[in-house]
Amino acid sequence: MISTSYDENERTADVIDIASRNEIAHTNALINARRDAANKPQIHPDFDGKTCLDCGEDMPVERLAAHRIRCTHCESIIEKRNQMHA
């Protein structure tokens, strides 16, 4: 029969708690970095400030206000392509 003392169990729990906190902190940092990147205004030297960089259609006011350079259709194509290569 294996007997563990209270101190051993407490140390093990402390190590697991520390690892868990570290993992949560790392995950939160990644989430925040992704959010910051997604909210960063997009810029491109060929963007005229009015039409989609890819298809040339007029950009909706909401997309322009969000500092996007592509319409939602063209942006979704890029996102799907990036997901396939990730």
The ranges assigned to domains in the chain are 1-40, 41-86
- 27/81 Cα distance (integer angstroms): 24
- DSSP H helices in the chain: 6-39, 61-65, 72-84
Supply the pLDDT for residue 3: 55
What's this model's pTM, rounded to 2 decimal places?
A: 0.59
pLDDT tens-digit readout, 5-50: 556 667 777 888 888 999 999 999 999 998 988 888 999 999 999 9
The secondary structure of residue 51, as a DSSP letter, is B
